[in-house]
Amino acid sequence: MFSDRINRLGESLTMAITQKAREVKASGREVYGFSVGEPDFDTPVKIKEAAKKALDDGFTKYTPVVGIPDLLSTIKDKLKKENGLDYETNQIVVSNGAKQSLFNLLAVLLNHGDEVIIPNPAWVSYPDMVNFFGGKPVFVETTEEEKFKLTAEKLKAAITDKTKILMLNSPSNPTGSVYTEEEYAALGKVLEGTDIIVFSDEMYEKLIYGGKKFVSIAGVSEDLYKRTITINGVSKGMAMTGWRMGYFATADASIAKAVGKLQGQSTSNINSITQVACITALDGSVDKEIEEMRIAFEKRRDLTVKLINDIDGLSVIEPDGAFYLFVNCSEVEKDSMKFCLDLLDKKAVATVPGVGFGSDGFFRMSFAMDEDTLRRGIGLIEEFVQGK
C-alpha cells in the first residue's frame, strides 16, 4: 500500500527515545530528559507581546507563501548585519521550521541517484530526507581528533561526478563543533570548479562559547557565496521551537522560486502570528535576552564537560557551540543503543545513541536544563557506568 518513498524514511531516533522516556515517566518514575533538542528557557517576553498584538490586530489571514515582506526584509537585514551576507528578499524563503526549509530544498534539488555528502556524526534527519527524495547519502567519517570536522582531503576523496550537495552544520548537532574561516576556505578550494551546492545549516549560530567566532561559509569567498544556501531559524537561539519558523537564503533566486512553488502547493505560508513575532526575534530587539541565554548555556557546558570527564570510562571533547555533549562511551559499551536503553531502564536518564548520528560508541546528551537537574542526572549516569 505504501509508496517506496515513505518506506525509505526511517523514524526519527530522537523522537523514538523521547517516546520511550514518556513511557518510563508514565510508570511513575522521574525521568531526566537529556535527549531533548530544545532550550529549557521560555520565549523572550517581547516576542510574545508582538504575537499578542498581531492577534489583537486581527492578523489572522493567509499571507504571501514565502513570508510577509516585513519579515523577509528583517531577515535580509539580519543576514547583512550579523553574517555580512547580501541577499535580496526574493532570495529568501520562510518555512515551517528549518526542518521544512531543508526538506523543501532537497525536494526541489535532488534527482534519483544524486549524491549528498554528509560528514558524520550528523543530525539524524539529513540522511532520511535525502533517502526520501531518492538521493544517496555519502557519509564521510570524522574523528574526535579532527574535532568531528570534515577535512579538505576527506571531502576531495568523497566527491564523484554524481555529487550534488555538501551538507554542513556549524555549530553541529550532535558534536557542538564549530568551523573556522580557514577550515571553510580549505573546503571551498576543493569545491572550486565543481557544481556542488553547499547547504550551511546555521541553526545553532547564537549558541557559541569560549569567545569563538561564528562564521557563515557563504561569506568566506565569492565562489562559496554563489554555491551556498544558508539555512537558519529561531528555534534554538531564541527559544522558539514550538513557533515553527525557519528560513533559507540563496544567491540563486530560481531556487527560492522553486521552493515557493512547492510550498504554495503544499503547506502555504507559515502561521501569520509567528511571522510577526519573528520580526521581533530577528531585528535586534531581544539581543540582550539571547545573550543571557547563551551565557547560561556556556556555564552549563563548562559544568557538564567537567562532570562527564570526571567519570571513569566516559570522555567528551569540549563543544564550542550548540547545547549537546557527544560523549564517548566506547570503553564502557560500544553498542550505543544498548547503552542508552539500559541507562533509561535502570536510571531513568534519557540520552540519544550515537548510532543515530552515524557514530556508534557515543551518546548525545543535551545540557539545555538547569544545573541542579544536570548534576543529579550526571550523578545517575556515573552510578550506571560504575554498575551500581
Ligand X SMILES: Cc1ncc(COP(=O)(O)O)c(C=O)c1O
Tell me the closest approach of the beta carbon of residue 200 to ligand X, in angstroms.
11
What's the distance, Cα to Cα, between the start and end of the chain in Å? 48
For ligand X, the binding residue among 36, 65, 72, 98 (CB under 6 A) is 98
Segment 226 to 245, residues that bind ligand X, using CB under 6 A: 233, 235, 241
For ligand X, the binding residue among 67, 176, 219, 246 (CB under 6 A) is 246
Distance, CA of 127 to CA of 289 (rounded, Å): 34
Of 239 and 311, which CB lies nearer to ligand X in the complex structure?
239
Distance, CA of 254 to CA of 248 (rounded, Å): 13
Tell me the closest approach of the beta carbon of residue 97 to ligand X, in angstroms.
3
The pairing of strands 115-120 and 136-141 is parallel
35 binds ligand X (CB under 6 A): no
Tell me the closest approach of the beta carbon of residue 104 to ligand X, in angstroms.
12
Distance, CA of 348 to CA of 29 (rounded, Å): 7
Residues linked to residue 364 through DSSP beta bridges, in sequence order: 326, 352
Of 163 and 177, which CB lies nearer to ligand X in the complex structure?
177
Could you tell me if residue 348 is left (phi over 0), alpha (psi between -120 and 50 degrees) or otherwise beta? left
Of 54 and 102, which CB lies nearer to ligand X in the complex structure?
102
Nearest-5° Cα angle at 137, 136 to 142: 155
Could you count the other beta carbons within 10 Å of the beta carbon of residue 59?
A: 15
Of 37 and 354, which CB lies nearer to ligand X in the complex structure?
37
Of 235 and 274, which CB lies nearer to ligand X in the complex structure?
235
Tell me the closest approach of the beta carbon of residue 173 to ligand X, in angstroms.
4
Of 184 and 247, which CB lies nearer to ligand X in the complex structure?
247
Of 348 and 369, which CB lies nearer to ligand X in the complex structure?
369
> Which among 114, 133, 174 is positioned nearest to 319, based on CA atoms?
174
37 binds ligand X (CB under 6 A): yes
Residues linked to residue 305 through DSSP beta bridges, in sequence order: none
- What is the contact mask toward ligand X in residues 101 to 130, using x (rule: CB under 6 A)? ----------------------x-------
Q: Which residue is nearest to ligand X (CB)?
A: 97
Distance, CA of 277 to CA of 110 (rounded, Å): 33
Residues linked to residue 229 through DSSP beta bridges, in sequence order: 199, 250
Distance, CA of 66 to CA of 29 (rounded, Å): 44
Residues linked to residue 248 through DSSP beta bridges, in sequence order: 93, 231
Tell me the closest approach of the beta carbon of residue 232 to ligand X, in angstroms.
8
Could you count the other beta carbons within 10 Å of the beta carbon of residue 130?
A: 24
Tell me the closest approach of the beta carbon of residue 246 to ligand X, in angstroms.
4
User: Which residues lie closer than 8 Å to 127 by C-beta, 6 or more apart?
Assistant: 118, 137, 139, 358
Of 270 and 355, which CB lies nearer to ligand X in the complex structure?
270
Of 205 and 289, which CB lies nearer to ligand X in the complex structure?
205
- Phi and psi angles of residue 372, each rounded to the nearest 5 degrees, phi first: -65, -45
- What is the contact mask toward ligand X in residues 185 to 224, using x (rule: CB under 6 A)? ----------------x-x---------------------
Tell me the closest approach of the beta carbon of residue 235 to ligand X, in angstroms.
3
Tell me the closest approach of the beta carbon of residue 161 to ligand X, in angstroms.
28
Residues that bind ligand X (CB under 6 A): 37, 97-99, 123, 169, 173, 201, 203, 233, 235, 241, 246
